[in-house]
A and B are shown apart, each in its own frame.
Chain A
Amino acid sequence: NAGVTQTPKFQVLKTGQSMTLQCAQDMNHEYMSWYRQDPGMGLRLIHYSVGAGITDQGEVPNGYNVSRSTTEDFPLRLLSAAPSQTSVYFCASSYTGQGNQPQHFGDGTRLSIL
């Protein structure tokens, strides 16, 4: 009954460091996405994927990379962390990228960049 699993739950980085936020789902969902949530800004889409091997940019992709080598996993990479990337990051998945398909969210990763 895992659903969408994100790791780590908390992370503190120094400016310039790189890291990967992990996201895995066990529901055989084709569509996966990454959001960041900042006060007053709501959820903003970073990158999304409609299936293994296919990724695309969302609203705020700069500074982030993604890959989708398997259906289950969709890691988000911060190439060179900046204080502006301090945020709460959510991974979400759904069966497809369209239609009446609600998204299921992971618990989130709280990231602070010093």
Chain B
Amino acid sequence: RKEVEQDPGPFNVPEGATVAFNCTYSNSASQSFFWYRQDCRKEPKLLMSVYSSGNEDGRFTAQLNRASQYISLLIRDSKLSDSATYLCVARGYQKVTFGTGTKLQVIP
């Protein structure tokens, strides 16, 4: 079993839709969590950190459930420019583990 698991997708959604991605992690010692965005043939870029209290950045909301070892990302009012692969990341002591990513395609 992978340490960080994500549904690979692809998720094909129309513009304006709300889409949710889920991620589970197996290492209970993981300390911090992130969502990254990766465009085709580009480097991953930090989208947002994830906190237990939940955090929001514009149309993006991230949530962490430590008891269930579960992380989520909600994107509201999807834009064409949101099309990318979204990577879930768990960070422990000196170790960072990436999920394989969930591909999102926003359709006009």
The CA-CA distance from A48 to B44 in the complex, in Å, is 17
Of A90, A98, A105, A106, which contacts B94 at CB under 8 A? A98
Please tell me the number of chain B residues within 8 Å of chain A, measured between CB atoms.
Answer: 23
Per-residue CB contact flags for chain A residues 19-57 toward chain B (1 = under 8 Å, else 0) read: 000000000000101010000111101001010000010
The CA-CA distance from A103 to B91 in the complex, in Å, is 10
With known contacts A100-B49, A102-B49, A107–B43 Cβ distance under 8 A: yes
Per-residue CB contact flags for chain B residues 69-102 toward chain A (1 = under 8 Å, else 0) read: 0000000000000000001000111111111110
The CA-CA distance from A48 to B49 in the complex, in Å, is 22
Are A102 and B34 in contact, CB atoms less than 8 angstroms apart? yes
Residue among B87, B95, B97 with the highest chain A CB neighbour number at 10 A: B95
Are A50 and B43 in contact, CB atoms less than 8 angstroms apart? no
Are B93 and A97 in contact, CB atoms less than 8 angstroms apart? yes
Decide if B31 is an interface residue (CB 8 Å cutoff).
yes
Per-residue CB contact flags for chain A residues 47-72 toward chain B (1 = under 8 Å, else 0) read: 01010000010000000000000000
> In residues 16-30 of chain B, which contact A (Cβ within 8 Å)?
none
B contact residues around A100 at 8 Å (CB): 31-32, 49, 91
Decide if B59 is an interface residue (CB 8 Å cutoff).
no
With known contacts A41-B100, A42-B101, A102-B49, A97–B44 Cβ distance under 8 A: no
Are B93 and A42 in contact, CB atoms less than 8 angstroms apart? no
A contact residues around B98 at 8 Å (CB): 35, 42-43
A49, closest chain B residue (CB) = B94
Decide if A108 is an interface residue (CB 8 Å cutoff).
yes
With known contacts A43-B87, A97-B94, A100-B49, A90–B43 Cβ distance under 8 A: yes
- What residues of chain B have their CB less than 8 Å away from a CB belonging to chain A? 8, 31-32, 34, 41-46, 49, 87, 91-101
Given contacts A42-B99, A50-B94, 10 further A-B contacts (CB under 8 A): A42-B87, A42-B100, A43-B44, A43-B87, A90-B43, A97-B93, A97-B94, A102-B49, A105-B43, A108-B42
What are 23 residue pairs bridging A and B, where the CB atoms are less than 8 Å apart in the complex? A40-B8, A42-B98, A42-B99, A42-B100, A42-B101, A43-B44, A45-B95, A45-B96, A45-B97, A90-B43, A90-B44, A97-B94, A97-B95, A98-B92, A98-B94, A99-B31, A100-B32, A100-B49, A100-B91, A102-B49, A103-B96, A106-B43, A108-B42
